[in-house]
């Protein structure tokens, strides 16, 4: 069983508090790691009542949006200090691994 810490950062240096996420396995493809994170966030928002029917997001649709954003360089993922660029790369995720989602911002006019 694995436990990773998800951290969100922005290119301007902003860093949100990390949150722990439990995994049944210690090796997982980046694509699946992103999907599981999205599914967890959607479930938490629903449970907290942050979204109301009929506006509740579809977790599968949100996961596909996140994967598309990754492919379009909307964000990058660091596992430890290493950038992962391939959604199909299988990651070693021992207990305590930090996974950073770094949101990239497009340049104005670029």
Using one digit for the tens of pLDDT, what is the confidence trace for 18-29? Answer: 999 999 999 999
pLDDT at 47: 84
Burial of 94 (0-12, 13-18, 19+ CB in 10 A): exposed
Question: Cα angle vertex 42, ends 9, 55, to 5°?
Answer: 115
Using one digit for the tens of pLDDT, what is the confidence trace for 45-96? Answer: 888 887 776 677 789 999 999 999 999 999 999 999 999 999 999 999 999 9
Q: Supply the angle between the helices 59-71 and 30-47 in degrees, to the nearest 10.
A: 140
Q: What is the mean pLDDT of residues 11-21?
A: 89
Q: Is the pLDDT confidence value at 13 over 90?
A: no
What token pair was written down for 76?
Answer: 């990058």
SS3 (DSSP) at 86: coil
Instruction: Name the pTM for this structure.
Output: 0.88
Q: What is the mean pLDDT of residues 6-13?
A: 90
> Residue with structure tokens 């599914």?
39
User: DSSP per residue over 1-62, as a string?
Assistant: -EEEEEEEEETTS-BPPPEEEEES-SEEEHHHHHHHHHHHHHHHHHHTT-S-TT-PPPHHHH
């Amino acid at each position: 069983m694995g436990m990773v810490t998800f951290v969100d950062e922005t290119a301007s240096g902003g860093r949100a508090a990390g949150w722990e996420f439990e995994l049944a396995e210690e090796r997982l493809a980046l694509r699946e790691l992103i999907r599981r994170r999205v599914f967890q966030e959607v479930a938490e928002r629903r449970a907290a009542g942050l979204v109301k029917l009929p506006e509740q997001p579809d977790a599968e649709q949100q996961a596909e949006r996140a994967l598309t954003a990754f492919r379009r360089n909307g964000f990058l993922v660091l596992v430890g200090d290493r950038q992962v660029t391939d959604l199909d790369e299988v990651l070693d995720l021992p207990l305590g691994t930090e996974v950073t989602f770094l949101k990239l911002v497009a340049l104005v006019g670029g």
